């Protein structure tokens, strides 16, 4: 039997995945590209330069007690080598706090020829060497985002097959180099479709991803899945309760992802802060459907929106901004246990059409 290069990392990969989704913990997705964080800064009238990006990320990683609710942080490459204003490396702070460093490794999307604007994610070339470098720097997990759309003839079989294959290749390469892969098949909420249409589309996508992971012999106990929740389209006139969203979401996952996978860490996908937390809470309160995996969060906007609003790029606002970030981390931590009482997050929609990182 041919040995797998990832075998030397097997126990570490499993331990990393379990540590990230241990009860009461989730992920801070702070892997916004330079362009994307610029759009966030535009909203608060802060210039998008290296120092402001460094200062904002210092605010996050030095928040008091955030490590009581956040187990891992996904970073953009720039952040890996950044330091506090006093010269302390962010990675050193994370190590002291017990927060596992992660890294975004995809290179964005390109259009698939012959489709209605559907995309495939790039970044496989050179991925092994990049993963090796990130592991040496201290990272222990990675993230790759695939983006699919719902619409006329979408998601197409071509787009599903292409993205599922790339997610599985990425996962295999990460594991060979010691990084626990977060597999992110995001079916965008854009559109007028109903929740039933979303569920059917996501079943097709998630099943294809699961099949590709099996074909690539990915160590399932050493990965995490980062899917969207099952929601009506952003322009759909129907509304659903958190309990209904929870039911459709868990049913879809139970039909597609096997129980050997230790955890599902949901993306927030432009939901409001409060909505993202309420839905996660309802998902963890659901008892009528089997869910063998831990159900947690990997939120970006839904953890940071109030924090950014409080900060406004001003040193004197850092403490207030950190308190806002901690409040969202605590609320989502409670939601992973089904114990969120509600009412601490903003209800403003954070949806951006055709969202890119």
The C-alpha atoms of residue 57 and residue 79 are separated, in whole angstroms, by 8
The pLDDT value recorded for residue 232 is: 95
Q: Please tell me the pTM assigned to this model.
A: 0.95
The pLDDT value recorded for residue 5 is: 84
SS3 state of residue 265 = strand
The C-alpha atoms of residue 299 and residue 297 are separated, in whole angstroms, by 6
pLDDT per residue as tens digits for the range 168-183 = 999 999 999 999 999 9
The pLDDT value recorded for residue 314 is: 97
For 139-176, letters b (16+ CB in 10 Å) and e give: bbbbbbbbbbbbbeebbbeebbebbbbbbbbbbbbbbb
Confidence of residue 270 (pLDDT cuts 50, 70, 90): confident
Which among 210, 340, 294 has a CA at the least distance from the CA of 20? Answer: 294
The pLDDT value recorded for residue 346 is: 59
Confidence of residue 3 (pLDDT cuts 50, 70, 90): confident
pLDDT per residue as tens digits for the range 344-355 = 665 665 545 555
Which among 269, 268, 263 has a CA at the least distance from the CA of 353? Answer: 269
Over the chain, what is the mean pLDDT? 95
Which residues, 6+ apart, have CB-to-CB distance to 336 below 8 Å?
23, 24, 25, 26, 280, 284, 294, 295, 296, 297
For residue 3, what is the DSSP state?
Answer: P
Q: Is 153 left (phi over 0), alpha (psi -120 to 50) or beta?
A: left
Residues catalogued as catalytic: 184, 226
- Please compute the mean of the pLDDT values over residues 317-335 and round it to a whole number: 98
Cα torsion through 241, 246, 248, 249, rounded to 10: 140
Percent share of the chain, pLDDT over 90: 92
pLDDT per residue as tens digits for the range 184-209 = 999 999 999 999 999 999 999 999 99
| Helix %, strand %, coil % of the chain (to 5) | 45, 15, 40
Query: What is the CB-side half-sphere exposure of residue 80 using CA atoms within 13 A?
Result: 19
**Sign of CA pseudo-dihedral 27, 32, 156, 160:** negative
For residue 151, what is the DSSP state?
Answer: B
């Amino acid at each position: 039997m041919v040995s797998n290069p990832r075998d030397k990392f097997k126990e570490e990969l499993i331990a990393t995945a379990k540590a990230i989704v241990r009860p009461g913990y989730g992920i801070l997705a702070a892997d916004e590209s330079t362009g994307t964080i610029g759009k966030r800064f535009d909203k608060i009238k802060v210039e998008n330069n290296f120092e402001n990006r460094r200062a904002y990320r210092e605010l996050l990683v030095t928040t008091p007690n955030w490590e009581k609710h956040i187990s891992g942080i996904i970073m953009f490459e720039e952040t890996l080598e950044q330091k506090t204003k006093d010269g302390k490396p962010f990675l050193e702070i994370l190590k002291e706090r017990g927060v596992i460093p992660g890294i975004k490794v995809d290179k964005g999307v390109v259009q698939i020829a012959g489709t209605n604007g559907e995309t495939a994610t790039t970044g496989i070339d050179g991925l092994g060497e990049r993963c090796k470098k990130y592991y040496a720097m201290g990272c222990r997990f990675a993230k790759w985002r695939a983006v699919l759309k719902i619409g006329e003839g979408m998601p197409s079989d071509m787009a599903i097959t292409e993205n599922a294959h790339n997610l599985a290749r990425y996962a295999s390469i990460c594991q060979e180099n010691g990084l626990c892969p977060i597999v992110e098949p995001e079916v965008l909420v854009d559109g007028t479709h109903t929740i039933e249409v979303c569920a059917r589309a996501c079943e097709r996508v998630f099943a294809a991803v699961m099949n590709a992971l099996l074909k690539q012999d990915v160590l399932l106990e050493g990965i995490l899945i980062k899917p969207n929740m099952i929601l009506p389209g952003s322009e759909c006139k129907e509304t659903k309760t958190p309990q209904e969203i929870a039911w459709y979401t868990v049913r879809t996952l139970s039909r597609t992802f096997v129980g050997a996978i230790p955890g599902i860490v949901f993306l927030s996908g432009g939901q409001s802060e409060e909505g993202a937390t309420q839905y996660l809470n309802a998902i963890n309160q659901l008892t009528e459907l089997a869910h063998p995996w831990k159900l947690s969060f990997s939120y970006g906007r839904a953890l940071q929106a109030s924090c950014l609003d409080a900060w406004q790029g001003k040193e004197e606002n850092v403490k207030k901004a950190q308190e806002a970030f901690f409040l969202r981390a605590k609320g989502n931590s409670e939601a992973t246990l089904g114990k969120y009482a509600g009412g601490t997050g903003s209800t403003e929609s954070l949806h951006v059409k055709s969202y890119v990182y």
